Amino acid sequence: MRAVSDRLLKPLWLCGLFVGVFLRVNGGVCGQEAAAPPPKPIQPPAGKPVADKAALEALVEDLGSPQFSRREAATDQLRFSGPAGLAVLRSAGNHPDPEVRRRALELTSPLEASLRLAPCRVSLERKSRTFRATLEALSKASGYGIEAWNNLEQPIDFGCDNLPMLEVIDQLGRITGTCIQQGYGDDRIRLGNGICPPLVAYDGAFRIVANTLQQYRTIDLTGADSTGPKRTETLTLGMAIFSEPRLPLLGVSEPRLLEAWSDDGQSLVPPFNEAPQMGGQVRRHVSRYGNGYRSQTQTANLVLHRPAGSSTRIRTLSAVVSCLVLVEQKQVPITTDLAQSKGKMVEIGSTSFTIEEVTGLDGKPGQQIQVKLAVREKNNDNPGDYTWMNSLYQRLELTDAAGMKFQNQGSSWGTSGPNFATITFTFGPPIPQQPVAAARARLGGLILPALLPGNNPAAPQPAKAVGPASRLVYTTWETMDHQIPFTFKDLPLP
């Protein structure tokens, strides 16, 4: 009986050894208990999406088919059916079949999000042009204004076929020695001299750049015990998140690491018990970047665990970052007669404005205009959220009756508290508008393709007199949370 047991134990031991080696070689779950692999993106079905209304309505009917294959085929087609499919899915909310209503509702939200967050795709015939002519062609194709200082007359051979705009800009930058500039809150793409970053991840209208890997080592000399001074070590990946001008970012949450492996197979995912200590309690890092300001660029940091000294590179790193994206803007007037608006109260959505005082409307040339507002926000669920206050500077505009904007020259804050603030905005006269050719000559080569005649029918015309300040306008924002997955490979360790 003992001999039989030994014969059974040996194969079981070998099987366990094989499984252990396999998990070690392929990553397994060692050190990454909380790291689930990112879901694979759903690929659109082959061929062009269905656009005919009758065909789309037939697909909606198939959502309630007793045949599994027909239900799945209809789901796959409707998932990528575009605006026409979205309209049909919304109308299916009154369908008599509850299964059709349920499936249509499940498809509606993801389809609407994909349409709102869809990138601007650009096609450009490949041929030799100057850098200036290429930028003008891209601006006309995308509708975005593009500025660049680099050698605008250099000849380049460039073309693209149905690529997202940010990928096109990077491809062009690698040829011309330019890269996207950060830190602007308007709706233009700016290119400056520099090397296009090599570590870039794309997700449609969004772009993530790995900027830095920083390692810090600290020794606490004040709390040394019998084991010696306490040592801590941190490894942080700094990154920048970019968006197209049409979809500016308002905030970015702390990135969530899914998996990270060094070149010798060690995990870089920080164990939970390695989080910094505070008063004997384990403290989590929770950060949010952006603070509600509208911008095409936000920065974020990803905390990693430095493996043993034998590791020299990060073989692969996958993570996801949640962004608050501004998907729609709509202007609503607070008043159209500023001179007679003292004491007026207007409620726009969840925000109410009371105009307490207006000064500087005497009509003297160059005179500043000050508007004092009491602003309240109905945000009882999160009264400590102050980001709505930060955004007011970007959402309030003063114009004349024809819509010409006065310059917002700053604001001063009075009393404020949860969901309430008193703010005084200072406006100056508009900058005189000049012909595009004169502006280009004065600025020494700065190109503004969106303002060129023929590219933008609504382009500003030569200077004209500004009228009295009369319209105070507030821009409502509709936002959407978006998860951006990204992967970087072959990063050197410090």
Co-location of 79 and 9 in the same domain: no
Strand partners, 145: 188
Indicate whether 444 belongs to any domain: yes
d(CA 50, CA 56) in angstroms, rounded, equals: 7
Could you give the C-alpha distances from 22 to 27, 314, 393, in angstroms and in order? 8, 21, 57
Co-location of 455 and 342 in the same domain: yes
Indicate whether 187 belongs to any domain: no
Strand partners, 276: none
Co-location of 382 and 414 in the same domain: yes
Q: What is the mean pLDDT of the chain?
A: 80
Q: pLDDT tens, 201-213?
A: 999 999 999 999 9
What 3 state SS string does 292-349 have? CCCECEEEEEEEECCCCCCCCEEEEEEEEEEEEEEEEEEEEEEECCHHHCCCCEEEEC
Rounded mean pLDDT of 389-406? 88
Q: What angle do CA 307, 308, 313 make, to 5 degrees?
A: 60
Question: What is the domain range of residue 459?
Answer: 329-475
Co-location of 223 and 103 in the same domain: no
290 has a pLDDT exceeding 90: no
Q: What is the CATH number of the domain that holds 86?
A: 1.25.10
Provide the Cα torsion 146, 147, 153, 156; round to 10°: -40
**Cα–Cα nearest to 60, from 115, 104, 110, 107:** 104
Co-location of 427 and 462 in the same domain: yes
Rounded mean pLDDT of 122-129? 93
pLDDT score of 25: 42
Q: When comparing pLDDT for 132 and 381, which is higher?
A: 132
Strongest mean pLDDT among 37-51, 125-139, 217-231:
125-139
Report yes or no on whether pTM surpasses 0.85: no
Co-location of 286 and 421 in the same domain: no
Indicate whether 227 belongs to any domain: yes
Co-location of 354 and 300 in the same domain: no
Q: pLDDT tens, 179-189?
A: 988 766 678 89
Between 234-238, 274-278, 401-405, 481-485, the lowest mean confidence (pLDDT) is in 274-278
Tokens standing for 46? 């082959």
Q: Could you tell me whether strands 471-492 and 396-399 are parallel, antiparallel, or unpaired per DSSP bridges?
A: antiparallel
pLDDT tier, 41 (very low <50, low <70, confident <90, very high otherwise):
low
Q: 382-415 as b/e, with b when 16 or more CB fall inside 10 Å?
A: eeeebbbbebbebbbbbbbeeebebeeeeeeeee
**Cα–Cα nearest to 246, from 165, 301, 313, 175:** 165
pLDDT score of 373: 94
pLDDT score of 413: 84
pLDDT score of 13: 54
Co-location of 341 and 458 in the same domain: yes
Co-location of 235 and 352 in the same domain: no
482 has a pLDDT exceeding 60: yes
Co-location of 339 and 379 in the same domain: yes
The domain boundary residue, chosen from 71, 90, 116: 116
Q: When comparing pLDDT for 413 and 166, which is higher?
A: 166
Indicate whether 46 belongs to any domain: no
Could you give the C-alpha distances from 95 to 60, 90, 104, 186, in angstroms and in order? 9, 10, 10, 44
pLDDT score of 449: 45
Indicate whether 186 belongs to any domain: no
350 has a pLDDT exceeding 80: yes
Q: What is the CATH number of the domain that holds 280?
A: 2.60.40
283 has a pLDDT exceeding 50: no
Per the structure, how many domains does the chain have? Answer: 4
Indicate whether 466 belongs to any domain: yes
d(CA 185, CA 297) in angstroms, rounded, equals: 8
Residues 6+ apart with CB under 8 A from 201: 207, 208, 486, 487, 488
Q: pLDDT tens, 138-156?
A: 999 999 999 888 788 999 9
d(CA 411, CA 40) in angstroms, rounded, equals: 47
Indicate whether 366 belongs to any domain: yes
pLDDT tier, 43 (very low <50, low <70, confident <90, very high otherwise):
low
Indicate whether 112 belongs to any domain: yes
Mutual orientation of helices 53-62 and 68-79 as an angle, nearest 10°? Answer: 140
Co-location of 341 and 461 in the same domain: yes
Co-location of 333 and 465 in the same domain: yes
Tokens standing for 286? 């929770």
